[in-house]
Structure 1
Amino acid sequence: MKYLFIFFLNIFSVCSSHTAPKQTQAQEVRVADRIEPNNLSLTWGVLEEKYLGKNQTLSVLTFKNEGKAPMPASGWSLYFHSTPSFKPKEGNAEVKVESINGDFLRMSPTSNFKQLAPGATAKIEFVAAGQIVNESRAPRGFYLVWDDNKTKGYTLENYAIIKPAMNQIGWVEPKDIYAQNSSIKDIPAEKLTKIFPSPAQYKETGQAFTLTAAIPVVADNAFQKEAALLAVYLETIFGQKPAVKATGTMGKAIRLQKKAGLGPEAYELTVSPQEIVISATTPAGAFYGTQSLKTLLPASALAKKQTSVAVAGVQVKDAPRFGHRAFMLDVARNFHQKKEVLKLLDLMALYKLNVFHFHLNDDEGWRIEIPGLPELTQVGGRRGHSLDEKNFLQPSYGSGPDVENVTGSGFYTRADFIEILKYARDRHIKVIPEVETPGHARAAIKSMDARYDRLMKEGKKAEAEQYMLRDVNDKSVYRSVQYFNDNVINVALPSTYTFLEKVTDELLSMYKEAGAPIQTIHFGGDEVPNGVWEKSPVVQELMAKNADLKNVDDLWYYFFGKLNTMLKKRNLYLSGWEEVGLRKVRTNGRLSYVANPDFVKDNVHVDVWNNLGSNIDLAYRMANAGYKVVLTNVSHFYMDLAYQKAYDENGLYWGGYLDVDKPFYFIPFDYMQSMRVNEDNKPITSNAAYAGKEQLKPSARTNIVGLQAPLWSEMILSPERLEYMLLPKLLGLAERAWAPDPAWATKPTSTQSKAAYVQDWSEFVNVLGKRELPRLNYYAGGFSYRIPTVGATTQNGKVVANAQLPGMTIRYTTDETVPTVKSKVYSGPISEKGTVKLAAFDVAGRSSRITTVENGQGNLGGE
């Protein structure tokens, strides 16, 4: 989908060695005498890549009994998450592994597993297909269940993942980072553009305005809400809220005034010693003028309460490049609290992103209350250890056995959602709710199964069947990309459409109560696996009655045709992932996808993520065919991908690696020119992969409606991790979606364009390091953005270092201790021999990961 969940922990084989004396299988351990779960520790680590010369990895899972009672030889199971192909080696394996569903597995002892005495360890080795680049591929979420009480799970808190001692995978090294940073120029702060994203026209006058709390905000009636929000923000700077007054007030002021003839989101901003004037035709334009004023203020103004702030004199005329500037948040895989959502809306508003794509459900969770369907949140909104999933879903992504886990369980009440809608509305952000269908719908399916069971027990058969999403007699066999075999809604059931109409109408009711705009609902539509619906009696019955349905593939167009009609009746248009607008074509047994002409004239919008392999040109093919396309390219915009190919760098890597530069150098109308590296982060030296690919037609440029950055939450278990993955690379998306097309994008391979790019890139990272990230230390409560690792190498017997973001301070040690804010500041080549450890620090004292260089031995260490 958006996310091809390709695990490399595939085929596990097991051999073991015990450091404890062997015990007989006949030994029995009483319940009162067996090990406490907290005393069982697990450690997993990679031993060897390319094991036996093949594309596989040797790893080891070590059990250690740290308690005073034994670990029994039988009577227990370990539940955890990995690929279903996780299997022990044939032969005298000590454990067996069974797939439950999805990535959820159960390990239990065989007769060869020996009791683990106190203080003893057992090492079990695994062979896994593929290479383990970082921790995202490690097995996780281990918990213990005793056979005599299979309803209770105990989280194994004592679990550690060990970093491999050697770089066998080709991780990025400090010298590589140094080379990447070498073209970056340090630009004096006073020479930087002081509004972000870059405005269309910008001029500094040298005539500053002195801003204090006594300066009122004077606004036309149409802009009173925008003025009020600005005043609230200024209160965080001065400790006192400026007065908001109506037009006609004389004297020094911030003025929001109406001006005819500007675009729907355009504004003009003039700062002189007498006043600050924001002119716009619409409230949205006035709002973006106030956001530019915020970034015009120095970041230091937020560090402590101010009595006055000097605002640089500027003349600005500005409007966005794209009308659809989107961020997508997945709250289904792992839940994120309302507080964090509101904070993200503040971040979006500051950087002029105007579409919040809210991914509210998936296989692993349903996150919004729908009145009349309580099971959606009671069952679909909670995860924990369950034998039947009647009351809540099974764990996913390491959420564990506890149903109160705040990442596995959680949902937004109707009141919560209305509050979010109002908050977004006031900041001129449109919220597009996503109801994932027909695939990725396991949480909804299981919820409606629970509803069915409840009502059938009450003898209410008709009511029980009203919202069913699966055919109970369906014998179809399939596996989704995430390994589920029961996650696709049956599109032949009338109750499916009753359910979707119910959800749609309840959502519309919330929007109406919030006074929030809604033009579309996103109905997903991706990654429905082969085999679905083939053995469903209700499908066969429908196909027999409908001559247009010649095979199960045709059910796709039937389903989205009905959804499209349903939305039209409600004055909405259909949005979805790219598959919504594609048609399957089989030629000589080979499957391919072409743009489906059925929905072209219906204003269907598609988020196209797949620009990998043969699908490099898919977005352009769809735009050329007439679809409204939001470029959501995995190669440049998937915020959940790891920044670097480094073991310690969190994030997925199935679609490549995503540092802050990739969104920045994206060229929307010629993005193949933006594909500088492959999915393994190696330079692309040939354009052969693009030969014969379809380019965007000039007439179809208007069909590229905007850009979108999604953040999928499989690996995100805290607000800090969310913000780390998001920032600063989201700012590259903000720049590219708002700012004018840069000159270097026209002929990016020319010498002149390359030089222009280096200059623009340097200005961008200087703005980030010296203005925007220091601002984000405080803005909306502060953000835990990523601080890039230091680049370093040896030259002429000395260590030289650099940072991706000028404005960060590099500090180092030579005594093998970890650098702190009190360590030496790097100001030039380091001549000391031995181990040099370096880290970059921001103005708030937070640091990057450690970079280690061995000076004098000729080797560079890992990060």
Structure 2
Amino acid sequence: MRKPLAAVLCALFVLLYATSFAQENSKKIDPKKLQLSYEVADGKYENKPQTLAVLTLTNAGESPLPASGWTLYFHSFPALKPKAENAPVRVEHVNGDLRYLSPTAAFKELAPGASLRLEFVSGGLVVNESRTPHGFYLVWDQDKSKGHATAPISVKKPDQPWVDWLQAKDVYAQNKVITDIPEEKLTKVFPTPAVYHETGKPFTMTAAIPIVTDAAFMREATLLSEYLGTVFGKKPVISMLGTGKAIRLQQKKGLGPEAYELQVSPQEVVINASTPAGAFYGTQSLKTLIPAASLTKKQSSVSLTGVRVSDNPRFGHRAFMMDVSRNFQSKEQVLKVLDLMALYKLNVLHFHLNDDEGWRLEIPGLPELTEVGGKRGHTVDELNHLQPSLGSGPDADKTSGSGHYTKADFIEILKYATERHIKVIPEIETPGHARAAIKSMDARYARLMQEGKPEEAKRYLLRDLEDKSVYRSVQNWNDNVINVALPSTYTFLGKVVDEILAMYKEAGAPIQTIHMGGDEVPNGVWEKSPAVETLMAANPTIKGKYDLWDYFFGKVNDMLKARKLYLSGWEEIGLTRVEENGKKKYVPNQDFKDKNFHVDVWNNLWGAEDLAYRMANAGYKVVLTNASNLYLDLTYQKAYEESGLYWAGYLDLDKPFYFIPYDYMKNQKVDTDNKPINPAVVFKGKERLTAYGRTNIVGLQAPLWSEMIKTPERLEYMLLPKLLGLADRAWAPDPAWATEPDAAKAEAAYNQAWSEFVNVLGKRELPRLSYYAGGYQYRIPTAGAVLENGKVLANVQLPGFVIRYTTDGSEPTEKSKLYTGPISTKGEVKLKVFAPSGRSGRVVTVGNKAS
């Protein structure tokens, strides 16, 4: 059969084009051969708070980088611009943290082996790599739909005298207050119990000793038996009757809802509780009684210290917030986090499931939420997936930028949490931080419009198609706010809430609240929206943005109340803006104060130091989530090698530990730059917590935002050991140093408590976590060290960990010399801290050359 002439010509054209395209591409550099390096040239350029940096492009390939026809995308916050007006490249902003540089007429072809040095200026000082451009990929003009990753960028540590990085001598000074306490004198149960007494009469536990439980505690007995099976290699038998030597779980009336009693004697271990939750916490305390060394291999027997414990948590809401939106974590990692939370008696997982950069939960009936909103990669229209963010790169499905939990995954997570008495509070971030949802529903709209179904297409639309409002969010998005005037917005939220509730019901998991976000809605939103104008015309009481705010959360609250839920959100859901002395300020919204709104108050900085107390005093239920002391994503130290953000300061192990919930202004010691503050100035005129306000402080929460957390190992590094400070402060009674009015006595009491805490962590809990639940990659501190009179003196934050050193320039290993006292040296000494498991931290160098 002869082919029509048109078909033959078409086939010939395609062949010629493909051949031409292949030949053209063969003359261009392989993007993986494009090498990039970055270094700061001047950290205080022109004596201003700005940085001059150099990005060098090196062609390591066999073909040139052409003078035109390409774009190099990358991620950077803050913005940066070429230093020279006639620079060979220009930089443009796409959205969020995504930018690109492209060649100008001044760009010349970059030949194989050649390099090009580009200078850029950006705002702010560079403290660590969080401000470094990253995630580079190349897009050819011939096919703008495809991105190609370059070689990973090489970053040189700057040598900046203008950044006062923490030195080894500073760490040494911090550690000097720590006393090494013998392990036998340490409290063997963690978090610190309300009442603890050692009897000196231990109990020898083996796999042959049964667990005898009341029927009400069968689930808790089962979990304990399973854990002891990992210790002994065989699970103890569970029975409801039995005499003789045993571990007994007994129901006892009159104890609090999470209280327990634990008695360990030579004949038996008895856990008394009124509720399954109390019994569970008793079993967790029993697990921390087991020496960490017993987890290194299977045991035939384990000796437990004889104790009498009577315990009850200080706060009923002890929360960890896990952000899986910015960067995704697998279901298995979430379960591992739940294991950690359960061991240390944290009882709320605030699950941050959506944000601008991703939607992570399957919602039946709305497949685009995960098919589009759960993936990131290079795109020209975002109809198949979101644009890259936070360095996630050009390829969807290949990085932590993509991923979601199926309905089955989420139900498994809920069941796992419920068995461990952890409530999961899902967060549906609205109306801001909602770009993933907005773009997903845009993709749904486009699909259904193409199918000729306009009414169905509009059903869940989250933006006014005619809206001309112009805004930029804090994270630089111009399209991330849901339009609160659209009826389809509430149809969408109702659908999502109902599907989530169905998952909870199937899992048999409790749910009392849904967190609806509410933070960081930028100025400019909704101002040029026809839908908003229509709503305001029909509702004369709505006169502006803040009335729309009340309208939105009023409707959301009504929706949740109809489903027998209360509303949780960030602090902004309970705030409104008023004018006072000619200045606009945020104050508690009187319209919502009696509606059982639960607010996570994070801002205790920049004039808002008393915000949490003002909201509690006004009647809001407050979860203290203070950024300065509880934001776990903040970098540990002001050190270039430490990953993490630092917009709210630096957060080492001590910050959560010394947090005083009912008087946190008393524990504020430094500003966001780690400089000492003057409390009399900073807190002048600030509102203190009243007796009524105290009743509205429902608990504490430590969030871990994931902008810079792309692996499970990095998550665990940022999480631990800081989370243990939060666990102790949320569970343990108010320590004596927190309420002592005499400053000198308070400081002495604090130093003693701090020493006990770090000794418990260094000798018991962190060695345990090296093996518990498969082992956690917690941060190991750097050594403190100082050069005095020609000798190097060193110390460590965690007694029980050891310091090893070298004097020949090599990096210390497990076989290097153990530090036991001052080191005489004329040159450099390299020191490194090692955990009992053998893992080690960063090297520090002291001697004749500064570290």
TM-score (structure 1 length as normaliser): 0.95
In the alignment, which residue of structure 1 is the partner of 2:764? 771
**1:477-536 per-position Cα deviation (integer Å, ceiling 9, x unaligned):** 000001111000000000000000000000000000000000000000010000000000
Deviation at residue 685 of structure 1 after TM alignment = 3.6
Cα drift, residue 645 of structure 1: 0.2
Q: 1:197 aligns with which of 191, 213, 236?
A: 191
Mapping for residues 731-742 of structure 1, pairs under 5 Å: 731-742=724-735
Map of 1:556 onto structure 2: 549
Q: Is the alpha carbon distance of 1:564 and 1:686 closer, same or farther for their aligned partners in structure 2, counting shifts above 3 Å?
A: closer
Out of 144, 159, 164, the residue aligned to residue 170 of structure 1 is 164
SS at match of 2:125: coil
CA RMSD of aligned residues (A): 1.2
Q: Which residue of 2 aligns with 1:20?
A: none
* Selected match of 1:45 from 35, 39, 51: 39
How far did 1:52 drift? 1.8
- Tell me which of 211, 217, 238 is aligned to 2:211: 217
Q: How many residues align?
A: 830
What is the aligned partner in structure 2 of residue 17 from structure 1?
Answer: none
Q: Could you tell me how far apart the structure 1 residues matched to 2:125 and 2:383 are?
A: 37
Say if 2:54 is the partner of 1:60. yes
Describe the superposition over 1:34-75 as per-residue Cα deviations: whole angstroms up to 9, x where unpaired.
Answer: 211111100011112111211111111011111221111111
Q: Does 1:837 align with 2:830?
A: yes
State the SS of the aligned residue for 1:433.
Answer: strand
> Counterpart in 1 of 2:307?
314
Q: 1:83 to 1:841 in 2, by over 3 A?
A: closer
| Residue in structure 1 matched with residue 232 of structure 2 by the alignment | 238
**Residue 630 of structure 1 aligns with which residue?**
623
Q: Which amino acid in structure 2 is aligned with residue 484 of structure 1?
A: W
On the 8 A contact 1:201/1:316 being kept in 2, the answer is yes
- Is 1:569 aligned to residue 562 of structure 2? yes
Q: In structure 2, the residue corresponding to 1:553 is in which secondary structure?
A: helix
CA offsets, 1:442-471, max 9 Å, x none? Answer: 000000011111111111111111111000
Instruction: Decide whether the 8 Å contact of 2:321 with 2:350 is kept in 1.
Output: yes
Distance 1:167 1:231 in 2: 57
Pairing 1:860–2:850 present: yes
1:109 paired residue number: 103
Match of 2:181 among 164, 184, 187: 187
Give 1:83 shift.
3.6
Q: In structure 2, do the counterparts of structure 1 residues 785 and 749 end up closer, same or farther at CA, with 3 Å as the change threshold?
A: farther
Letter paired with 1:624: N
User: Do 2:431 and 2:484's aligned partners in 1 also have CA atoms closer than 8 Å?
Assistant: yes
Deviation at residue 86 of structure 1 after TM alignment: 2.3
Residue 332 (structure 2) aligned to one of 339, 347, 357: 339
For 2:773, the aligned partner's letter is A
Q: What secondary structure sits across from 2:730 in the alignment?
A: helix
Deviation, 1:165, is 3.0
Residue identity matched to 1:237: V
User: What amino acid does structure 2 have at the position aligned with 1:525?
Assistant: G
2:790 alignment partner, one of 791, 797, 813: 797
Contact persistence 2:79–2:122 (CA under 8 A): no
2:3 corresponding residue in structure 1: none
Q: Within 5 A, what are the aligned runs for 1:563-642?
A: 563-587=556-580, 590-642=583-635
Matched, 1:408 2:401: yes
Q: Distance in 2 between matches of 1:291 and 1:156?
A: 48
Whichever residue aligns with residue 283 of structure 1, its letter is P
Q: Deviations over 1:386-429 (max 9, x none)?
A: 00001100000000001012301100000000000000000000
Matched residue type, 2:498: D
Match 1:826 to one of 819, 829, 834: 819
Moved more, 370-379 or 83-92: 83-92
* Pairs within 5 Å for 1:76-95: 76-83=70-77, 85-95=79-89
Equivalent residue for 2:521? 528
Matched, 1:787 2:774: no
Identify unmatched segments of 5+ residues in structure 2: 1-21
Cα distance in 2, alignment partners of residues 340 and 748 from structure 1 = 44
Q: Does the CA-based 8 Å contact 1:40-1:158 persist in structure 2?
A: no
Alpha-carbon offset, residue 682 of structure 1: 1.2
Shift of 1:587: 4.0
- Name the aligned partner's letter for residue 740 of structure 1: P
8 Å Cα contact 1:520/1:574 also seen in 2:
yes
5+ residue gaps, structure 1, are 1-27
Residue 342 of structure 1, CA deviation: 0.2
Aligned to 1:715: 708
Q: Calculate the TM-score normalised by the size of structure 2.
A: 0.97
User: Any idea what the Cα deviations from partners look like across 1:176-209, whole Å, max 9, x if unmatched?
Assistant: 0000000000000110000000000000001000
1:860 alignment partner AA: A
Aligned with residue 297 of structure 1, among 290, 312, 315: 290
Task: Please give the alpha-carbon distance, in whole angstroms, between the structure 2 residues aligned to 1:482 and 1:798.
Answer: 48
1:87 partner SS: strand
CA distance in 1 between counterparts of 2:189 and 2:103 reads 62
**1:124 match:** 118
Q: 1:793, 1:860 within 8 Å by CA — same for their partners in 2? A: no
- Residues 328-367 of structure 1 aligned to structure 2 (within 5 Å): 328-367=321-360
Once the two structures are superposed, residues 543-593 of structure 1 have per-residue CA deviations (whole angstroms, 9 ceiling, x without a partner) of 011121011220000000000011111110000000000011134653211
Q: 1:611 to 1:851 in 2, by over 3 A?
A: same
Query: Which of residues 288, 302, 311 is equivalent to 2:281?
Result: 288
> In the alignment, which residue of structure 2 is the partner of 1:727?
720
Q: What letter matches 1:629 in structure 2? A: V
Does the 8 A contact of 2:627 with 2:648 survive in 1? yes
Runs of 4+ in 1 over 4 A off after TM superposition: none
Q: Which residue of 2 aligns with 1:513?
A: 506
SS at match of 1:591: strand
Higher mean displacement: 66-75 or 278-287? 66-75
Could you tell me which amino acid in structure 2 is paired with residue 523 of structure 1? Answer: M
Would the alpha carbon gap of residues 807 and 527 (structure 1) be closer, same or farther in structure 2, given more than 3 Å must change?
Answer: same
Residues 212-239 of structure 1 show CA distances to partners (whole Å, capped at 9, x for unaligned) of 0001111000000000000000011000
| Bigger shift: residues 337-346 or 674-683 | 674-683
Change (3 A) 1:808 1:177: same
Q: Is the 8 A contact 2:79 2:123 kept in 1?
A: no
Amino acid at match of 1:485: N
User: Residues of 1 paired with 2:804 and 2:176: CA distance?
Assistant: 18
Q: Secondary structure at the match of 1:613?
A: coil
Question: SS at 2:82's partner residue?
Answer: coil
Residue 752 of structure 1 deviates from its aligned partner by 1.0
Q: Is the 1:29–1:72 Cα contact (8 Å) retained in structure 2? A: no
Query: What per-residue deviation string (whole Å, max 9, x for no partner) do you get for residues 728-779 of structure 1?
Result: 0000000000000001101366111111100000000000000000000000
Q: Which residue number corresponds to residue 504 of structure 1?
A: 497
**Residue from 650, 656, 659 that aligns with 1:666:** 659
Equivalent position SS for 2:829? strand
C-alpha deviation, 1:90, in angstroms: 4.9
Shift of 1:258: 0.3
Deviates more, 1:588-597 or 1:208-217: 588-597
Once residues 838 and 748 of structure 1 are traced to their aligned partners in structure 2, the CA distance between those partners, rounded to angstroms, is 40
Q: 2:650 aligns with which of 638, 650, 657?
A: 657
Give yes or no for contact 1:493–1:538 (8 Å, CA) kept in 2: yes
SS in 2 for 1:812: strand
The alignment partner of 1:834 has SS state of coil
Q: Tell whether the 8 Å contact from 2:169 to 2:786 is kept in structure 1 after alignment.
A: yes
For 2:761 and 2:114, locate their aligned partners in 1 and report how far apart those are by CA, in whole Å: 52
Q: Do residues 251 (structure 1) and 251 (structure 2) align?
A: no
CA distance in 2, matches of 1:80, 1:267: 54
Matched-pair contact (CA < 8 Å) for 1:84–1:98: no
Contact 2:88 2:106 in 1 (8 A): yes
- 1:208 matched to 2:198: no
2:758–2:797 CA contact under 8 A, matched in 1: yes
Q: What secondary structure sits across from 2:470 in the alignment?
A: coil
Give the Cα–Cα distance (whole angstroms) in 2 for the partners of residues 329 and 694 of structure 1.
31
User: 2-side partners of 1:545 and 1:770: how far apart?
Assistant: 66
1:195 and 1:296 in contact (8 A); partners too: yes
In 1: Cα distance, 2:796 partner to 2:83 partner: 46
